[in-house]
Chain A
């Protein structure tokens, strides 16, 4: 086993909203009335059925309520356990699934306020991601600006399967705002289910949807690279969360090869895809889709040709590893330090600011 070191950053924690009614205090009268009068219940996503084994480690599953809904559990099972300096909260409540941009906006605002009051206020180590109503660029930009005045919000959160590929120009005002405010764009596994959850249609099983997240990340990475997001926004970082990363090297071989062949189609892509990934794209550590023995994984790290791409994550409370084995076997102490501390601090500029304040 590779031991975690103290003072790291857990870049993917999932606090759970107990129920839609938990957000009512953070909605205005109109939306409170809508939720109540129309009998709206919970916004649970098919991406993570509550009782699915993938949704919570057996020993992290509470006796009652949703996994991840208790701050005390998260402190004991993740923050204290891995002695992290910071933990970034990425709420996966299914607010992106609704089809009305007004309703999505109201729910996102409530969710962000709920996160600040019920989590960030209660543990100094916690940081938050801003969930946005992506169907409306205008509303998304306003919500980013509203939340960003609180320095504890350190990134913007989007789902990997949404309405349109993420590189589309339509989304660029979101990226401009995020870049200006020092917020990376976190792209997390999960679907708004506005499109079939695979590129070849609807599968039969939950396991298929979960496996397909990795392919969705690949197509999104192609989109943001070839549309030129990083030529326009060179300081923007994107973090692929719960994406897996072992697919990255062969994916880049293929993208690089075709880019060489047909780059006349996207002449604004001014650097090789691999260089763009190295400078602008990061990946959360979990899940590690590789055999558990160290040799294969070390070869894979070698195939990635960079030790700056991975950011420590437990994916709490999702079941990605057992015991204390948050770090894969056989990786060097240097790499552990990079993954746990250096890489996250280099990615999340707002964390670096707080880290400075703490040390001075």
Chain B
């Protein structure tokens, strides 16, 4: 977060930094435009330089909603050797992994083949990004684990990429973005879930992406803050789609992680789904359980940006509705709305819940004990 308003005694913050934590949302960046080229067939180098990536939005470069600062990242996170924030392993170690005692860092590359209209290019870039994660990050620091990125709109190609990486200890999950050509429960995406379930990899759904749809059900809003806040609404709808299409009936071992979209909305969405399901279950007879049951059993939530109510009991009640066992701590390093590990939880949480929140839930979900 940018501004820390609450005053806290120093003692409270220094005690919790010492314990090892998992950071389930770290964004590695490329130092240069061409850093992927060694992993990408020659034909694509020329293609990219001539045509660019031809995404599901209009900008050749830069986001459609300009961020509040370059690369949506902390101004103090530029590596001393140059390049954008998040592009240097040694600086990431020095600024984040070492001082915060990050025992497990899950990499979520955002600038990949997802959201590219040319599906051959999308698949090539995703595969290259996966090779690049091993080469530049996970093979050099065993605390870091990668996410298999896939050409999301081409289910079969995506499934092939997941199968190629299955069993590779460099990767702990498959990564999708929340905004796609269709809601994520649609059958075009099922080969992804099938392959992920088969490989025993959870599927992370990170807020973001452009899939060609206006980012509200009433068209395109004006401001970056609307896109930021709106990630949670896109995620809610994507999750409703996953539940109502019966993805968790078809893939009963599938586990999914909602990344960087908040978690405070989960109880209300689950209650609404349950209530409407009571009335309309005849339309979705493929569901054999209440929507909230699927959510409780199949969904995990990363914590950043941490819910920040005025009163801490409101936060605790919300977490109790979701379950302390379902939250995965994340900082979003190096992005501007980074959550500082020592300041994220108010006082009054039991040691067992803290341990689950900061580390154990992630270790268990990702099979790293």
Contacts and interface: CB of A to CB of B under 8 A. Distances in A.
Contacts of B225: 222, 226, 258-259, 262-263, 265-266
B317 A219 contact: no
A250 B68 CA distance: 23
Contacts of B364: none
A296 B318 CA distance: 10
A82 to B, nearest CB: 21
Interface stretch (A145-153, A192-200, A332-340, A349-357): A192-200
Interface of A: 52-54, 160-168, 191, 194-208, 210-212, 214-216, 218-220, 222-223, 226-227, 244, 246-247, 249-251, 253-266, 287, 289-291, 296, 299, 302-303, 305, 319
Nearest to A218: B233
B240 interface: yes
Given A203-B241, A246-B268, 10 more contacts: A54-B280, A160-B218, A166-B218, A199-B234, A212-B237, A219-B216, A249-B309, A257-B305, A290-B268, A291-B271
Contacts of A191: 217
Given A200-B178, A218-B233, A161 B271 contact: no
A254 B318 CA distance: 14
A266 B223 contact: yes
Interface residues of B, number: 71
Contacts of A247: 265, 268-269, 272
A196 B308 contact: no
Nearest to A192: B218
26 contacts: A160-B218, A162-B218, A198-B241, A199-B217, A199-B234, A200-B238, A201-B182, A201-B213, A205-B283, A210-B280, A214-B268, A215-B233, A215-B237, A219-B221, A222-B226, A223-B216, A226-B223, A226-B226, A227-B223, A254-B264, A257-B305, A261-B337, A265-B223, A289-B268, A289-B272, A299-B317
Contacts of A264: 68
A196 to B, nearest CB: 5
Contacts of A161: 217-218
Contacts of A258: 225, 228-229, 305, 337
Contacts of A200: 178-180, 182-184, 211, 213, 234, 237-238, 241
A225 B214 CA distance: 19
Nearest to B3: A260
Interface string B181-214: 1111110000000000000000000000001111
Contacts of B337: 258, 261
A203 B244 CA distance: 9
Given A201-B213, A250-B268, A261 B336 contact: yes
B244 A219 contact: no
Interface of B: 1-3, 5, 68, 178-186, 211-226, 228-230, 232-234, 236-238, 240-241, 244-245, 262, 264-265, 267-269, 271-273, 275-277, 279-280, 282-284, 305, 307-310, 314, 317-318, 321, 336-337
Contacts of A165: 216, 218-222, 226
A202 B238 CA distance: 11
A254 B232 CA distance: 9
A219 B218 contact: yes
A164 B182 contact: no
Nearest to A194: B219
A166 B217 CA distance: 11
B283 A207 contact: yes
A190 to B, nearest CB: 11
A290 B279 contact: no
B219 A265 contact: no
Closest 8 CB pairs of A and B: A250-B264, A289-B272, A219-B216, A215-B233, A198-B237, A246-B268, A247-B268, A216-B217
B309 A303 contact: yes
B214 A195 contact: yes
A128 B2 CA distance: 46
A52 B280 CA distance: 8
Nearest to A292: B275
Contact of B307 (A164, A254, A319): A254
Contacts of B272: 211, 214, 244, 246-247, 287, 289
Contacts of B215: 199
B230 A302 contact: no
Contacts of B212: 201
Nearest to B238: A200
Q: Which of A52, A168, A250, A266 has the most CB of B within 10 A?
A: A250
A257 B339 CA distance: 12
Contacts of B317: 299, 303
Given A160-B218, A199-B213, A249 B226 contact: no
A257 B232 CA distance: 13
Contacts of B183: 198, 200-203, 208
Contacts of A208: 183, 237, 240-241, 244
Contact of B240 (A163, A212, A219): A212
A98 B111 CA distance: 40
B69 to A, nearest CB: 9
A206 B240 CA distance: 12
B265 A251 contact: yes
Contacts of B230: 199, 218-219, 222
Nearest to A57: B279
Residue with the greatest number of chain A CB neighbours at <10 A, chosen from B215, B234, B240: B240
A196 B220 CA distance: 12
A211 B276 contact: yes
Nearest to A209: B217
Nearest to A288: B275
A289 B276 CA distance: 9
A250 B244 contact: no
